[in-house]
Amino acid sequence: MEPKLNTYLHDAQPRQLAELQEWLRIPSISTLSAHKGDVHRAAEWLVTNMRQAGLENITLIDTDTQPMVYADWLHAGSDRPTVLIYGHFDVQPVDPLNLWHTPPFEPTVRGDDLFARGASDDKGQTFIHVKAVEALLQTTGKLPVNVKFIIEGEEESGSGAINRYVPAHADQLAADAVLISDTHILSPDQPAILYGLRGMWRAQITVTGASHDLHSGSYGGAIHNANQALAEILAALHDSTGRVTVPGFYDDVRVLSADERASLARVPYGDKEILADSGAPAVYGEPEYTVVERTGARPTLEINGMWGGFIEEGFKTVIPSQAFAKISCRLVPNQDPARIGKLVTDYLKQLAPPTVRVDVQKSHDGAFAFLTPYDTPAIQAAGRAYTQVFGTEPIFTLEGGGIPVVNVFQKELGAPIVLMGFGLPDDNLHAPNEKFHIPNFYNGIRTSIAFLQEMAKL
Ligand code: BES
Ligand code: MN
Ligand code: MN
């Protein structure tokens, strides 16, 4: 790296970290309506920061739901490629709050980590690219490629607005590659590029028995308890090996080739690592697949929440009339979320005994899984950028999480999608004590710069 830029990046570190902390103080939780104003403030903060960074055409795009921010710098020349950078500034809720060691919206440095909600997912990773562009503009006055940013505030609640915006503004967003940092690498010295993400379908289940809560002495044994009926239904959704029992669930799942299995077997992540990261006493799931395959290439059905009846202090001998669960399915390529939704809904109705009523309310349309070939020039350029900064070639692997808009980018822009993450597997995404490994933040800025420079050579 050029000495002037190198010195700049070194000296800028405290300011870059302080700015990220300022952004993290805004509780931009998109799934809670009470935080709508905060999501907007997070967008406004980004607009101001992008202006200081030297970006142009910065626009806060208000929508029916949550805002987005667009910005660009398009003076590299029309012979140079254009990179579209995507990220999100909305975050997940923070409960259970009592398990946080420091408050989620008071970003705190402990050792090499910055703790805060959104530190890794995804303000920290998004900010990497704003600071990379700023560093280049402030030291050289230009960028090696044309750059566009589209940063949304609704990823954690389904990306509805951006999913509609992209098809309607395909010209504005046209690019030769889409760069996304919203995933993780394997360790601080083992970068990883994802070539697939899982899709999603989710719903709330309501089980209703009696028309109102009943005294369990007077009615117990004669009227079906809604909590019990829900537990019986949910327990029937998996067999003893962890396979989903919904008829037809696996019909469209692609069979992994021997080559792909061999390649995934080289990923240095297995039972030992997942047990250490999760703190669970044993691994779970389909025995014929490795944990990388189970989380990357196999579909699942998860019970995200269940409630009903009396849970306050003391005891209350009651037969609850209603019980609830929130479930979600992680989908793999070729599984259609609408079809899976119908299969699951039909099966839940079929499992319902005549003693209760079962309602299934889907949350949105769901998302298809994502898969991309990784021998494309843009992804290989990302590989070289990682190698320059981390000193190790990236591993190509699959991930279980989802980023709904990637399929829309793939379909509408026809550009290769580069999933270049800087999080770590133990960043506690969506959980208490979310953190971002600070060396990954600074190395991320260098890698982003290296990627733009590598793209310019294509
Ligand atoms: N950044 C994550 C997705 C992710 C997590 C990718 C871990 C790779 C590794 C993203 O913010 C996320 O949480 N997505 C949601 C999507 C859902 C709310 C529609 C998810 O996967 O649950
Ligand atoms: Mn994310
Ligand atoms: Mn997330």
Q: Which atom of ligand 1 is nearest to the CA of 404?
A: 19
Query: Among candidates 203, 218, 206, 297, which has minimal Cα distance to 256?
Result: 297
Query: Among candidates 12, 24, 17, which has minimal Cα distance to 121?
Result: 24
> Of the residues 342, 362, 382, which one is the last residue of a structural domain?
362
Considering the domain architecture, whether residues 312 and 373 belong to the same structural domain is answered as: no
Q: What pLDDT sits at residue 1? A: 85
Q: What pLDDT sits at residue 363? A: 87
E strand or H helix at 110: strand 108-110
Q: What are phi and psi of 291, to 5 degrees?
A: -65, -35
DSSP 285-310: S-TTS-HHHHHHTS-EEEEEEEEES-
Considering the domain architecture, whether residues 160 and 19 belong to the same structural domain is answered as: yes
pLDDT in tens, 295-345: 999 999 999 999 999 999 999 999 999 999 999 999 999 999 999 999 999
pLDDT in tens, 400-456: 999 999 999 999 999 999 999 999 999 999 999 999 999 999 999 999 999 999 999
Task: Give the CATH number of the domain where residue 215 resides.
Answer: 3.30.70.360
For residue 175, give both structure tokens: 């690019």
Considering the domain architecture, whether residues 210 and 189 belong to the same structural domain is answered as: no
Exposed/middle/buried for residue 61 (C-beta within 10 Å: 0-12, 13-18, 19+): middle
Query: Among candidates 132, 120, 240, 213, which has minimal Cα distance to 179?
Result: 132
The rounded distance, in Å, linking the Cα atoms of 373 and 379 is: 9
Considering the domain architecture, whether residues 238 and 325 belong to the same structural domain is answered as: yes
For residue 443, give both structure tokens: 């190395």
Domain assignment present for 264: no
Rounded average pLDDT over 341-357: 98
Domain assignment present for 233: yes
pLDDT in tens, 195-233: 999 999 999 999 999 999 999 999 999 999 999 999 999
Least confident of 122-131, 329-338, 364-373, 394-403: 364-373
Q: DSSP character for 253?
A: P
The rounded distance, in Å, linking the Cα atoms of 375 and 400 is: 21
Q: Is 5 helix (H, G, I), strand (E, B) or coil?
A: helix
What is the identity of the amino acid at 256? L
Domain assignment present for 273: no
Considering the domain architecture, whether residues 85 and 204 belong to the same structural domain is answered as: no
On the question of pLDDT at 35 being above 80, the answer is yes
Domain assignment present for 74: yes
Beta carbons within 8 Å of 160's beta carbon, 6+ residues apart: 65, 154, 364
| Ligand 1 pocket residue status of 401, Cβ below 6 Å | yes
User: How many CB atoms neighbour CB 33 within 10 A?
Assistant: 7
266: alpha, beta or left? (left if phi > 0; alpha if psi -120 to 50): alpha
Strands (E), 349-428: 357-362, 370-371, 395-399, 417-420
Domain assignment present for 391: yes
For residue 122, report the distance from its CA to the centre of ligand 2, in Å: 5
Considering the domain architecture, whether residues 82 and 217 belong to the same structural domain is answered as: no
For residue 203, give both structure tokens: 């719903």
Query: Among candidates 446, 228, 410, which has minimal Cα distance to 319?
Result: 228
Task: Give the CATH number of the domain where residue 426 resides.
Answer: 3.40.630.10
Considering the domain architecture, whether residues 314 and 344 belong to the same structural domain is answered as: yes
E strand or H helix at 49: helix 36-53
The rounded distance, in Å, linking the Cα atoms of 34 and 30 is: 9
For residue 135, give both structure tokens: 């560093």
Domain assignment present for 272: no
The rounded distance, in Å, linking the Cα atoms of 355 and 111 is: 56
* Domain range enclosing 409: 3-197+369-457
Strands (E), 374-413: 395-399
For residue 403, report the distance from its CA to the centre of ligand 2, in Å: 7
Q: What pLDDT sits at residue 158? A: 86
For residue 85, report the distance from its CA to the centre of ligand 2, in Å: 14
Considering the domain architecture, whether residues 205 and 353 belong to the same structural domain is answered as: yes
Domain count, the chain: 2
Rounded average pLDDT over 32-43: 98
| Ligand 1 pocket residue status of 155, Cβ below 6 Å | yes
Across all residues in the chain, what is the average pLDDT? 97
On the question of pLDDT at 97 being above 90, the answer is yes
> Of the residues 362, 378, 394, which one is the last residue of a structural domain?
362
DSSP 174-206: --SEEEE--SB-SBTTB-EEEEEE-EEEEEEEE
Domain assignment present for 221: yes
Best mutation site among 89, 156, 159 for ligand 1, i.e. most ligand atoms within 8 A of its Cβ? 156
Considering the domain architecture, whether residues 99 and 240 belong to the same structural domain is answered as: no
Model confidence band, residue 366 (pLDDT cutoffs 50, 70, 90) = confident
Domain assignment present for 263: no
Considering the domain architecture, whether residues 378 and 348 belong to the same structural domain is answered as: no
Model confidence band, residue 140 (pLDDT cutoffs 50, 70, 90) = very high
Considering the domain architecture, whether residues 126 and 88 belong to the same structural domain is answered as: yes
Going by DSSP bridges, is the β-strand pair 113-115/108-110 parallel, antiparallel, or unpaired?
antiparallel
Considering the domain architecture, whether residues 211 and 94 belong to the same structural domain is answered as: no
Rounded average pLDDT over 347-369: 94
Q: How much is the pTM?
A: 0.93
Q: Which atom of ligand 1 is nearest to the CA of 328?
A: 22
Q: How many helices and strands, by DSSP H and E, does the chain display?
A: 14, 18
Q: What are phi and psi of 440, to 5 degrees?
A: -65, -30
The helix, strand and coil proportions of the chain, stated in percent and rounded to the nearest 5, come to: 40, 25, 40
For residue 273, report the distance from its CA to the centre of ligand 3, in Å: 21
Query: Among candidates 356, 352, 327, 325, which has minimal Cα distance to 341?
Result: 327
> Of the residues 362, 392, 415, which one is the last residue of a structural domain?
362
For residue 115, report the distance from its CA to the centre of ligand 1, in Å: 19
- Contact in structure between 59 and 150 (CB atoms under 8 Å): no
Best mutation site among 403, 422, 424, 426 for ligand 1, i.e. most ligand atoms within 8 A of its Cβ? 403
